Each structure stands twice: as structure tokens, then as C-alpha cells.
Copies of this chain bind each other. A is one copy, B any other.
Amino acid sequence: MRAYRLEEFGTLDGIVLGEAPTPEPGGDEIVVKIRARSLNYRDLLILHRLYPLAGVKGVVPVSDGAGEVVAVGERVSRLAPGDRVAGVYFPRWRSGPIEPDQGRDQFGCTRNGMLAEYVVAEEQAFVKVPDHLSFEEAATLPCAAVTAWSALTGPRRVLPGESVLTIGTGGVALFALQFAKLFGARTIAITSSAEKVQLLKWQGADEVIDYRKNPGWDKLVRDMTGGAGVDHVVETGSVETLHKSLAACAWNAEVASILALTGGALDIPALRGLVTLRRLFVGSRADFEAMNRAIAHHKLRPVIGRVFPFREARAAYEYFAARRHVGKVTIADAA
């Protein structure tokens, strides 16, 4: 089979396409023909050795992929050939709070990922995907969608009529917006450009603020909520947006933070009211499955910004790194 490998860190040229033996399943394993992948910020961090978990040299990169089961080991019971599946970001994390050892194993980092024609792994590392989704759509789910779902399912639950603030038009932000609507929430989104306002409204934003035109957008958000502030923030921005999103919060609000913690400092007085700041890492397999039930029931469709062919995977990385996309950047079938 054809497979990309991470032969060198720090440069896109380190991602090298080559041949590899097509895998066979062990006793509790399945082989999946990968039909589509999607990129995440962590894939860049791994490439540049900035990720908390060191990538293995020579590993097949990319955590997110979806495809079809083509072979199963003799002890496999949950899945069968023909099943449409996606990989789980943390293959060992089933449910409940994550334990450190469950965080230390990831596709495209410590084990071979999705940028190949086939992947082999234990059946527990995959979930079935909703029927109405294409493989490209399904490939957007493992990291960004599960992260957005987890952001909305913390201890401070999202009730219908509560307000949720999302930041920008990245993958997590768009899923958070779409999911917040499923919870019956009122959604407020901020973005940096007029043309994205319309996209956000299509995807379910009740109100959209262009933060370039409204540098005091925190006050605007408070005004929109009768002075109270928003109940939930899915913070996918930066320490700059965090200062304002905290200022836009209601008493007792929760800020679910997906920030890359690469720098910056939070002014302590910004922690106003009774806000809880909760960090999260993607989610468990149980979260993924619960999310899939919601996606399937509501026939929700992920937003795909652009699709690259398999042979142009490096171009996909480059496009993604430029951060001008909306939604998810995917890499299609190797066929």
C-alpha cells in the first residue's frame, strides 16, 4: 500500500510518500481501508515537535481518518467487514475521565495514523460513523467534533435557552456552533471578517459579531444577553480572545478552553464573577459515540473547507498551516 511517513521533523518535506506492506489483522484487530482524513492543528505541532507527546520517527501521520473495515481478527466482535468507521483520537480512552496512560497513545503520533491506504489497530480503537455522512465528512469527526462535543458536555450543562459563545470559523468552533444549536442554546459567534458572518449564520449562529469592527465585543455580548453575559464559551482562540471572552461571561459561566498553551499570560483580574475555566482534551470513545447519535438523529453535516487529493497531502498541510480555511481541511481517498 501507499503510505506517508514522518521521516523528518520540522519541515513539510519530512512527510514522505512511499510503499509499505498492506497490514493484516491480529486477533483483536481490524484493518480499515482509509477513504478520507482530516487535518488538525496537532498534526502541525507533531510535525514541528511542539506537541506534548513526541511523535515516533517514521510514523504514518494524521490522527483523523474514516474508512471501511476490510479484514478482522478472529476475536473481533464489535465490528465486521463492510462497517464504516472512524478512528478514536485516544484509542485507549473508552469513557469516564482520561487517565494519563490513556493519553500517551495516539494515531499519527505514537502509532501509525491515517495518511496511508490502510490502517490496522485493535477494534476498540474505532467507532461506527453515522450513515448519512460521506467518508470525508466522517473523517472530520475524531478530533475537532469530539472536542466541541466535550466542550458542551462538561459539569456545567448546556440548557435550552442558555447562551453559548464560539470563537471564529475553525473546525472546533463550527462544530461547537452546530452542536450548541442541537442543545437548544442561543448561539453567539465572533469572527474576523464580513464574509464569514454569513457562513456562521448558515451554520446556526443566532448572532454574529465581526470583532475587527467591534473591538469592544465583550461589552456587545453582555448587551445582547441583557447585561448578564454568556453562560458558556468554547474558547478556541488565543489568550487575547480569552481576556474578552471572560469579560463577556455571566456569573457562574463555564469557559471550556481548547487553547494551545504555548504562551501568553492571563491577567488575574480577568477571572471575574464565578467563572470556571475548564481545560479539555478531545474526548473518550463514549463521547464520540454519544456525539454520533446526536449527529445521526439530526442529520448534521460537518463543514468542509477544502478537499485535497491523497497525493497532495503536503499541499493540504501547507494550506491548513496558512490558517485561512474555514471548517475542516480533508484529504480524500487514495484511489
Contact = CB atoms under 8 A, between A and B. Distances in A.
A78 B290 CA distance: 29
Interface string A225-267: 0001000000000010000000000011000010101111111
A269 interface: yes
B276 A98 contact: no
A331 B85 CA distance: 46
Q: How large is the interface on A (under 10, 10 to 19, 20 to 34, 35 or more residues)?
A: 35 or more
A334 B267 CA distance: 43
Contact of A161 (B100, B259, B272, B295): B295
Interface in A61-96: 77-78, 94-96
A276 B276 contact: yes
Chain copies in complex:
4
Contacts of A295: 161
A183 interface: yes
Given A157-B157, A159-B294, 14 more contacts: A97-B252, A98-B251, A98-B252, A100-B251, A155-B155, A161-B290, A161-B293, A183-B184, A184-B294, A261-B271, A262-B269, A265-B266, A265-B268, A271-B279
Interface of A: 26-27, 77-78, 94-101, 103, 153, 155-157, 159-162, 179, 182-184, 186, 228, 239, 251-252, 257, 259, 261-269, 271-281, 284, 286, 290-298
29 contacts: A94-B94, A95-B95, A95-B97, A96-B284, A97-B274, A97-B286, A99-B286, A155-B155, A155-B156, A159-B293, A160-B293, A160-B297, A161-B291, A161-B292, A182-B184, A186-B297, A261-B271, A261-B272, A262-B268, A262-B269, A263-B269, A264-B268, A265-B267, A265-B268, A271-B279, A274-B280, A274-B281, A275-B279, A277-B277
